[in-house]
Amino acid sequence: MVNYIWVGMTIIGIIFALVNGTMDEVNKAVFDGAKEAVTICIGLISVLVFWLGMMRIAQESGLLEKLSRLFRPLVKKIFPEVPENHPAMGYMLSNMISNMFGLGNAATPLGIKAMEELKKLNGGKNSASRSMVTFLAMNTASITLIPTTVIAIRINYHSASPTEIVVPTIITTVLSAIGAILIDRYFYYRRSRKGR
């Protein structure tokens, strides 16, 4: 599916450029896109090094395990394939908590560690496991408590009440996360009926 979407976006774009005479823009887009990607990755190095360093301490001190024990009952239902005391639980939880506080910087390294552990659980295969799909579905619906960037923009444009969107955002984000889990469940049961 990714292959089709990837090729599709590129080919449709090129054909479109041929028809509409936007070839100049497309040429520029190729190099700008590549450059932006590398810039993002380089920018991630600092954050990844710092937070993965911190998280190693949290892991070795047993803090991560404590955290996962706290939320275990809820998360166990969402990720039935992950064993209770597995480090993946701790990483997934810290990822979700960071996301809730709008700490995207801290959330990404934790999410990556969680994916690493989930891959180990899946026997190191290079295809996505059920838990990975669930985890990413929840991540794209990103539960946010404080949408800081949006509040900043609203202050910037003189909103009468910049933070009035906080509660609606929380309601929306929780409902869409529930929606994401339900959609994920639907596809899982469809897969298992087909016997994969």
What part of residues 44-63 is at the interface with another protein (CB under 8 A)?
44-45, 47-63
Q: Which of 84, 171, 189, 192 binds another protein (CB under 8 A)?
A: 171
Q: Which of 83, 84, 149, 189 binds another protein (CB under 8 A)?
A: 149
Name which of 60 and 193 has its Cβ closer to another protein: 60
Is residue 28 a contact point for another protein (CB under 8 A)? yes
Q: Quote the tokens at residue 90.
A: 């701790």
Is residue 176 a contact point for another protein (CB under 8 A)? yes
Cα separation, 155 vs 175, whole angstroms: 26
Is residue 150 a contact point for another protein (CB under 8 A)? yes
Minimum distance from residue 124 beta carbon to another protein (Å) = 9
At residue 92, the 3 state secondary structure works out as helix
Cα separation, 23 vs 27, whole angstroms: 6
Is residue 166 a contact point for another protein (CB under 8 A)? yes
At residue 75, the 3 state secondary structure works out as helix
All residues at 6 or more sequence positions from 89 whose CB lies less than 8 Å from its CB, including other chains: 68, 72, 75, 79, 82
Is residue 183 a contact point for another protein (CB under 8 A)? yes
Is residue 67 a contact point for another protein (CB under 8 A)? no
Cα Rg of the chain, angstroms: 20
